[in-house]
Structure 1
């Protein structure tokens, strides 16, 4: 089950090429996070199903490898 917070965070994506959009963010802790994409085009909103993104706890280690 993805982590839930009291607030959802909206991150604006930037367009690269060939219809690819990218976001950049930092996570405060490892775990499973839910990601949902919302697209607004010509007044119509399209929402994708939620996808789970897993961040390893080891990425937050304070000790050098």
Structure 2
């Protein structure tokens, strides 16, 4: 594995870790929320954020696999 691939794997790890922390944060917020409107908005934002992060991870993995 070359230096560029190692850097890409570190980026992928950071994206996955950030997504996990986002899930944990929203889970904690939802546990204390009394508003279904707030819950829906938070879940929508979380899903959008995680979708974007996972697309980035997918693109990076694809680059590593093809090289």
The TM-score by the shorter chain falls in which range?
under 0.3
Q: TM-score, normalised by structure 2?
A: 0.23
Higher relative contact order (CA 8 A, sep 6+): 2
Greater C-alpha Rg: 2
User: Between Structure 1 and Structure 2, which shows a larger proportion of strand residues?
Assistant: 1
User: Between Structure 1 and Structure 2, which shows a larger proportion of helix residues?
Assistant: 2
